[in-house]
Structure 1
Amino acid sequence: MPIPFHPGQGTIVICDFGGFVPPEMVKRRPAVVVSPRLRKRKGLCSIVPLSTTAPNAIAPYHFKLHINPVLPPPYQALFHWVKADMLYTVSFARLSFPFDGKDAAGKRKYVVHVIDPANLRQIQHCMLRALGLTSLTDYL
């Protein structure tokens, strides 16, 4: 179910990258919201995708993010790799919260997981490195 509002920075969402073309992301996967809510930009937010597969060569724009508690299946893992070189701005229609089964009444249960500020700061460092703005990391 698509989200109806801009999640806070650091919130983990599931993004459907369907319709993109390889080597872009092309499947559903977790992502971290990195943009704040901007009043004049409705229906969009910026995210960096997560992967349980380590990069072939770990670069300064990758970060091993430990997630506790783990996300619900099929995304459960003790850690995910942040792919900050693959920054996207996407429609809310592509985003949902991780789904964790149904309650006794049959209503879907969603998990809202927000990473801590120190991890968000590390992701911001990685994003700057990916954009060739390494000199700005001193200001974070």
Structure 2
Amino acid sequence: MAIQFHPEQGTILACDFRGFESPEMIKRRPVVVIAPRLRNRTGLCTVIPLSTTEPKKIEAYHYRLHTSPLLPAPYDSPSHWVKGDMIYTVSFARLFLLSNGKDDRGTRIYDQRVIDQSDLLKIQAAVLHGIGLTRLTDYL
């Protein structure tokens, strides 16, 4: 079920990128919320995608995010690569809480994880590199 609220910065969610065109993101994958809720921008959230595949060549716009404990399957890798050059503002309809299955009563259990501030700052720096604003990383 899609989210109905703007999550805090640093929250890890799943995003359904279906309907986009390759070489854009085209499948469901984990993302990190990188922007706060903005006034007068209802139903939209700015995220950065994560990948379990290490880039062929690591650039300044990549960042290795270690996730402990592991994210729920199928994203259960000890680390993920931030793709700081692929920032997206998407509808809440594309965003989902990560699910850890169900409890004994059949109620879904959600992984509502927020990364720490130091990781968020490194992700924001990767995004600045990815959009050609490298000089601004000195101010983070």
- For Structure 1 versus Structure 2, the TM-score category normalised by the shorter chain is over 0.9
* Equivalent position amino acid for 1:119 in 2: D
Matched with 2:86 is 86
Q: 5+ unaligned residues in a row in structure 1: which ranges?
A: none
CA RMSD of aligned residues (A): 0.6
1:60 & 1:128 partners in 2: Cα distance?
9
Deviation at 1:61, TM superposition (A): 0.1
Matched with 2:21 is 21
1:28 & 1:138 partners in 2: Cα distance?
33
Matched, 1:56 2:46: no
Deviation at 1:27, TM superposition (A): 0.4
Runs of 4+ deviating beyond 6 Å: none
Alignment map for 1:97-136 (pairs within 5 Å): 97-136=97-136
Deviation at 1:104, TM superposition (A): 1.1
Q: 5+ unaligned residues in a row in structure 2: which ranges?
A: none
Aligned length: 140
| Other structure's SS at 1:120 match | helix
Alignment map for 1:34-73 (pairs within 5 Å): 34-73=34-73
| Other structure's SS at 1:113 match | coil
1:59 & 1:112 partners in 2: Cα distance?
29
For 1:14-68, what per-residue CA distance to the aligned partner results, in whole angstroms no more than 9, with x for missing partners?
0000000000000000000001011210000100000000111111000000011
1:63 & 1:69 partners in 2: Cα distance?
18
% identical equivalent positions: 59
Matched with 1:31 is 31
1:134 & 1:39 partners in 2: Cα distance?
27
| Other structure's SS at 2:127 match | helix
* Equivalent position amino acid for 2:2 in 1: P
| Other structure's SS at 2:32 match | strand
TM-score computed with the length of structure 2 as normaliser:
0.98
